[in-house]
Every structure is written in structure tokens, then in C-alpha cells.
Structure 1
Amino acid sequence: MYPNLYYAFKDLFGKAPSGLRFINSFGFFVALSFLAAAYILTIELKRKERAGLLTGQDVKMVVGKQASIGELLLNFFLGFLLGYKIIGLFISGNATGDPQQFIFSSEGNLPIGLTLGILFAGLKWWEKHKQKLDKPEERTIRIWPHDRVGDLVIYAALFGFLGAKIFHNLENWQDFKENPVEALLSFSGLTFYGGLICAAVAIWFYARKHKINFTLLCDAIAPALILAYSIGRIGCQVAGDGDWGILNSAYVTEPGPNSKVVLADSTRFQNTLQAHGNFYLRNFQVNNISEIPHASVKAPGWLPNWLFAYTYPHNVVNEGARIPGCTEDQYCNQLPVPVFPTPFYETVCAFLLFLLLWSLRKKLKAPGTLFGVYLMVNGIERFFVEQIRVNTKYSIFGFHPTQAEIIAVLLVLGGGTLYFVMKKKHEKTLAQKA
């Protein structure tokens, strides 16, 4: 596992700059997922614009004005924040410290912050000065939907993160009550569906404000969403963020620095559970080891064992037992009993679903139907993977679903309803025009 890029570079090249410890692997892949989603969304919006399905919005702007005090102050603040905190994080000389603690503290590099703040403000002044006219004038500029992809990504990232944190804390209410500040400010602990729901609401308001057809926007964004999910799950797998499956009782982890998994009978499996009973009882929030969910599945000879049983060595959440011989201050744990690597499964499934949606985007003519298909396949995929994932369960009328299972079922029902309603509506419109 590579909890941050320092571990990845060290493994690949034998050594790495200590500052790379602050670039979290999960965050790195999340950033890549947003970039990939923005690229795919831009392609789809341009295609719909060329087809005449989406139109631009005329916006009146005053050009030729010198930079205002507010613009200069905003750019100074952004530059100062980048230098004081982000760059200061790398050159603070505290590379083995906690980046989360550093970000939320008053520590930083004041000279670098002031320098970048002045530089950012100066660049804004120079940019506006080059465009300055003797007499500023009002012009009408057409802004197309694809021109707003940057704003859409920012809205999705901001509200998606907030929604993911909110839903995660609702799902883990006891942990939130015990330490609410850490639960809210921690960079770990994100629920995908919470992010999806809150981001969707925010984008709906944004699309309505800028007169972008929300139904067509949803169709355009569907392939981008599933691709982003696929790439984001790579981050979960690489970092080992705790979002893994139940125990595979066909194997145990052999003590040693190589995290090797070996076949085990039921006696050895139970003995391993007993030896690490405190960890498993706490992790699964059960009263007895016999209640710990597990399944026994042996890997076929033509596939590697880790596809069915993975130990997540050096995982970012420090779960499990200490790895013998590990000399690092943190990230020295691995799981005593390997688990099903569900993030890897979801990476593969989500990418295949992306290819499916990409192939259907021109074939489904009725607006909204592609997004309906996205909701259905997304819900089906998540429902089935939840059967071997570790998650908090609710008790509802004798049933014990997870939060993700409940939302997945609603997505399938909602997606199916949306598909048939929009298809029927489109057929009715075509019949009226005939």
C-alpha cells in the first residue's frame, strides 16, 4: 500500500523527497478522477452543442477596466494561502508530521506566503492592465455550457465533499458523537452516495441559474461520473482507506514483512481471530468473534491470491497488526486475516460501465434515458458489492441493510422510472411532431 506518494516513489526508485509524504494517495487519485470527469463532460457538452441540443447564454460584461481593489485582495489572499500553507507544508522541516494537523493549525511560511500573495495580485493587475481601454465598454459575450465545466467541477467537488462527510457521519453516528471535531475535519471517511446526492442538488441550482437544460446535462455527465468513480476507487485500493470487503476465511496472513497470505483451515482462521480479538471486535462493532462476517473463497490457480485475499499492508488508516520489521513511525500495520479487495472490484466494474454508457450515449435519443441507465447500473453494481463489504447496518422492519444498499435500491428504482418516463415522453413528442 502507498498511503502517500512518498511510499510509492520510495518503492519505485529506492528513495523519495520527504515532502511527498504530504501528498495523500487517495487525494491524488480523487484529483485525477475530477480531471478525467471534466474532460469527458467537456467532450459530451460540445457534442450536444454541435447537435443543437444545448445553446449558449448571452452575458453582458464590462471590459477594459483596471483591476479593482477587491480582485487584487482576493488574488493576494489566494496566493498567500498557497504559499503560507501548501508550500509551507513541504518546506517546514516537519515532513514526518501530520499534514492534517498542519493545515488546520496556525503554522505556515510567512515570507513565502507574502511573496506569492504579492505575485498573484501583481499578475492580476498586469492581466487587467493589458486589456485596459481608455473608456471601458459593455460587451455581450456568449458563454456555452462547456465553458462552465470548470465551475461545475468546483461545485461538484465542494458540495460532493460536504455531502460525503455528512452521510459518512450519519452512517457512523457513534464515532461522530465521540469526537465530532475530528470526524468533521478528518480527510478520511467519505461516503460516495452522500457526495453524489449533495453535488447533484448543487449542480441543479447552478444549471437552473445559467439556463442549462438539466436533463441534457445529466446525460452528458453520466459517463463522466462513472469514470470518476472508477479512478477514485483506485485511490481507495492504493491507500488502503478501510473501504474493503469482509474477511476471506480461506486464508490468513503469514507473520513477516512480505504480507504473504497462505491457505488456512477453519481452526487456524479461528485461532488468528482469537489472537487479534480486540481489533476485530472493535472494528466490526460486535460482541463475539463468531459474529464477524466472513466468507471462504479460494482463488483459482490461474489468478493471484490477492484478487480474493488482500492484507492491505501499510494501509493509511493503520488498521490491523504491526508488520514485523517495519521501522516507520506510522503506516506499519497489515490485516491479520486478508479481506476481499472490493475497491479493486469496483474499479474494474465501474470502468466497464463507463464503456457501456459511452457506447450508448449516441444511441439513446430520449433526453434523460442515459442518466436513467447510469442510475440503474450504478445501483446494481453497488448493491452487489455491498454483500461482501464492511459497513454499518441498520435495523428496519427486521431487515439489516447498509446505507449504501438502501440508496442503491432507490437508485435502481428511480433510474428505471426515469428511463421509462423520459422514453415515453420523447415518443409522445415525436408523435405530435409527425
Structure 2
Amino acid sequence: MYPNLYYAFKDLFGIEIPVFKLLQTFGFFVAIAFLAGAYVLTNELKRREKLGWLKGVPETIITGKPVTAGEVLFHGVLGFILGFKILGLALDWAEASQDLQSYMLSAKGSVLGGLLLGGILAYSKFRTGKKQEKATPKEETVIVMPHQRVPDIIVMAAVAGLLGAKIFHNLENWNDFSQDPIGSLLSFSGLTFYGGLIVAAVVIIRYAVRKGINVWQLIDSSAPALMLAYAIGRMGCHFSGDGDWGIYNSSYVTDAAGKVVPADPTRFQQMVQASQQFFSRQYASIEHIPHAPFPKPAGLSFLPDWFFAYGYPHNVINEGVQMAGCTGKYCSVLPVAVYPTALYEIIACLILFGILYAVRKRVTVPGVVFGIYLIFNGLERFFVEKIRVNTKYDIFGFHPTQAEIISSLMVIGGAGLIWYCRKINKAAKPAV
């Protein structure tokens, strides 16, 4: 596993670049997911604009306005923060390089560096504004096409998605949240995809209505982009080892070096007993460890063992037991291998993205493509939940997870949306 890009470059290319410790693997893939989603969404919106399904909206802009004090102040504050950390990092490199992430989140830095860069950015903004300023500001009317609003949509999706993912995660893990609410809210770990999807969807749909964008065409355009972004985001989960994995596959254990090895029931129990201190922190008793044996089928012998069970050595959350001969910050491995559910979701969602991308030109009824996306996403997540570790609810004798509840509603909602869209489209067609 690669907690950050420093470890990835060191392992893959034999290159040590200490500053890459700042670039978390999960965050890197999330950024790539947003960029890939924005690219696919932009192209699909352009295609629908050419077909006349989406129209531009006239907007009035004012050019030549004088720069405001608020704009200058914002750039000054931004420059101060960057200069404070950058120069501080250079001056305290010996100490900061030991744990760059902690240093960047601390109050340590250089006030001189902050004042210098803050002053430069503030003055630069002031001078640029003066050059663009006109004696009489001029109003102009321009046509803004839907694809030109993608940057705004992506920023709103990122902010609203992060908030929603945090809120839903803390609702799902209420006991942990109640014990440390501030720490839970500020922690970089603990995100629930469906929470982010729901909150971001509400925010973006409201924005689309306000800007005169056809919501049905927008959601259809976003369906392939969402599936691709989710697949890439899951790469971040898998390659960083962020804890988003499945239950234990008791047909495999991991050795001291972190390698997955086959195990019979006796070997599994021996490993559990040997790692009792670790398991006792996770479960009330070792008899309640969630596991299901599934050895590699003979017909799939060409696949590696880690496809069926993985110990996530060097995982970013330091979950597991100490690895032999390992020193440093990330030296943990799971004693019993788990199902790499993030890997399964990567494969499934890339295939589903391909299907959605292929059918997007054949399905012309507005809203149906997004309905298909809801069904695909709901089914994929519902079945993977069967081997994932998640908090379960007690509802009338049933014990579903939050994701199972939402994914079931997504399948039902997707089917209902397809039926509704086809019905109103048929009703809108004039009788021959």
C-alpha cells in the first residue's frame, strides 16, 4: 500500500522525493476522479448542446469595474498562508520532513514568509485590477452554455459532497461521533459516498434550476461521469488502504512480511489467537469476528491470491499488527486477510461506466440514462455490502447497513424514474 505518493515513487521507481509525503494517495485519486468526471461531463454536455437538447442562457456581466478591497484582502490572506508554510517548511526542513502532514496542519511556519508572499499577491491583484479598470464600467450580455458551468458544478460537488459524506458517516457511526464530535468532524478519514452523492445532487440541481439548465439533460450527462469518478475514487481507497475493505476471508492469513498465504480453519484460529490483542480492540470477543472462508477456485487459478484476500500492508490508517523488520510511520498489516472490496468496486464500476457511455447515444428519453445509473450503482453497492465491514441497524428484526438501505432505494428510485420519464415522454408526443 502507498499512504502517500512518496512511498509510491520509492517502491515503483526507487526515487525518494520527501515533499511527496504531502500528497496523500487517497486525495490524489480523488482529485483525478474529479478531473476525469469533469472531462466526461463537459464532453457530454457539448454533445447534447450540438443536438439542441441543451441551450445557453444570456447573462449580463460588467467589465472594467474597479478592484475591491475585499479582493485585495483575499489574495493577501491567501498569500500569507502559503508563504507562512512554504518558507517555514524550507527553514525547518529537518524537523518537518519527519512528518510533513502534521507540520502542514500545525501552527508552525514563517511569519516573514507569510508577510512577503501575502504582500506580493495583494499588490499583484491591485495592479492587475487597476490595469483592467475603466472610467465607465460597461455592461455586456453574453450567452453562457451549460458546459461552461462545469467548473462551478465541480467545485460545488466537491464542497457539498465532502460535507454530505462527513454528515452521513457520523450518523452511521454515532457512538464514535458522540465521544469526540470535534475530532470526528475535523478528521480527514471517515467519508460515506452516498452521503456525498445525495447532498451534492441537491445543491447542483438547485444551481441548475437557478441557471436555467435543463435538469433532465444535466443528470443524464452526469451519469457516466459519476460512475467513472466513483471507480477512480475507489482506487484511492484501495491503494492507500484507508480501511474501506471487506470482512475477513478466513481461507487466508498474512505472514510477518505482509504476504498473503492460504490457511485452513486451524491456521485461521491460531492466527486469531496470536493476534488477540488486535482483535480485542475491534470486537467484543474473538468469536464475533466477521469472516467467511472463500479459497481461490480452481478455475481462477490464474488470478493472484490477493484478488481474493489481502492484508493491506503499510495501510494509511495503521490498522493491524507490526510488520517484521519495518520501521517508520506505516508498518501495520492485517493479521488475517480481508476481501479487497474496493478492488471489486473499481472493476465493476469501470465496466458499468463503459455500458453507460455506450448507451448514452441510444437512449433519447430524458432522465432514463440517470435512472439506469441509479439501478447500476444501487445493485453494485448492495451486493458488495454483503462482504464489507459496516455498522448495521436493527429495523423490525432486519439488520441492514446504511449503504444497503440507500442502495435499495436507489434501485427502486431508478426503476421508478425510468418508468416516469418514459410515461411523460410518450404523453408529450403528439398522436399521429
TM superposition score normalised by structure 2 = 0.94
Return closer, same or farther for 1:133/1:237 CA change in 2, 3 Å cut-off.
same
Alignment of 1:257-336 (within 5 A): 257=257, 259-283=258-282, 285=283, 287-299=284-296, 300-328=300-328, 330-336=329-335
Q: Which amino acid aligns with 2:418?
A: Y
Give the Å deviation of 1:174: 1.3
Return closer, same or farther for 1:226/1:109 CA change in 2, 3 Å cut-off.
farther
- Give the aligned partner of residue 21 of structure 2: 21
User: Separation in 1 of the partners of 2:361 and 2:88?
Assistant: 48
Give the Å deviation of 1:153: 0.6
Give the Å deviation of 1:280: 2.2
Select between 64-73 and 181-190 the one with higher mean Cα deviation.
64-73
Give the Å deviation of 1:178: 1.8
User: Separation in 1 of the partners of 2:420 and 2:276?
Assistant: 52
Contact 1:22 1:90 survives alignment (8 Å): no
Q: Which amino acid aligns with 1:80?
A: F
- Give the aligned partner of residue 407 of structure 1: 406
Give the Å deviation of 1:206: 1.3
- Give the aligned partner of residue 97 of structure 1: 99
- Give the aligned partner of residue 252 of structure 2: 251
Return closer, same or farther for 1:412/1:85 CA change in 2, 3 Å cut-off.
farther
- Give the aligned partner of residue 238 of structure 2: 237
Does 2:12 match 1:12? Answer: yes
Give the Å deviation of 1:90: 7.2
Return closer, same or farther for 1:8/1:118 CA change in 2, 3 Å cut-off.
same
Alpha-carbon displacement from aligned partner over 1:88-138 (angstroms, at most 9, x marks no partner): 557642122362x44553323333333333333344334434433343211
Q: Which amino acid aligns with 1:252?
A: V
Give the Å deviation of 1:36: 0.6
- Give the aligned partner of residue 176 of structure 1: 177
Alignment of 1:6-405 (within 5 A): 6-85=6-85, 88=88, 92-93=92-93, 94-97=96-99, 99=101, 101-255=102-256, 257=257, 259-283=258-282, 285=283, 287-299=284-296, 300-328=300-328, 330-405=329-404
Give the Å deviation of 1:15: 3.8
Q: Which amino acid aligns with 1:291?
A: H
Contact 1:321 1:333 survives alignment (8 Å): yes
Give the secondary structure class of the aligned counterpart of 1:397.
coil
Return closer, same or farther for 1:143/1:125 CA change in 2, 3 Å cut-off.
farther
Give the Å deviation of 1:86: 6.6
Contact 2:67 2:133 survives alignment (8 Å): no
Contact 1:30 1:235 survives alignment (8 Å): yes
Give the Å deviation of 1:212: 1.3
Give the secondary structure class of the aligned counterpart of 1:293.
coil
Give the secondary structure class of the aligned counterpart of 1:139.
strand
Alpha-carbon displacement from aligned partner over 1:189-230 (angstroms, at most 9, x marks no partner): 111001101111111221122121222111111111110000
Select between 65-74 and 76-85 the one with higher mean Cα deviation.
76-85
Alpha-carbon displacement from aligned partner over 1:273-303 (angstroms, at most 9, x marks no partner): 12212322432x3x33222221211223211
Give the Å deviation of 1:349: 0.7
TM superposition score normalised by structure 1 = 0.94
Q: Which amino acid aligns with 1:218?
A: I
Task: State the percentage of identical aligned residues.
Answer: 52
Give the secondary structure class of the aligned counterpart of 1:249.
strand
Q: Which runs of 5+ in 1 are unaligned?
A: none
Alpha-carbon displacement from aligned partner over 1:58-96 (angstroms, at most 9, x marks no partner): 111111223222222222222333333477557642122
Give the Å deviation of 1:374: 0.5
Q: Which amino acid aligns with 1:52?
A: G
Q: Which amino acid aligns with 2:64?
A: G
Contact 1:25 1:238 survives alignment (8 Å): yes
User: Separation in 1 of the partners of 2:87 and 2:407?
Assistant: 41
Return closer, same or farther for 1:343/1:140 CA change in 2, 3 Å cut-off.
same
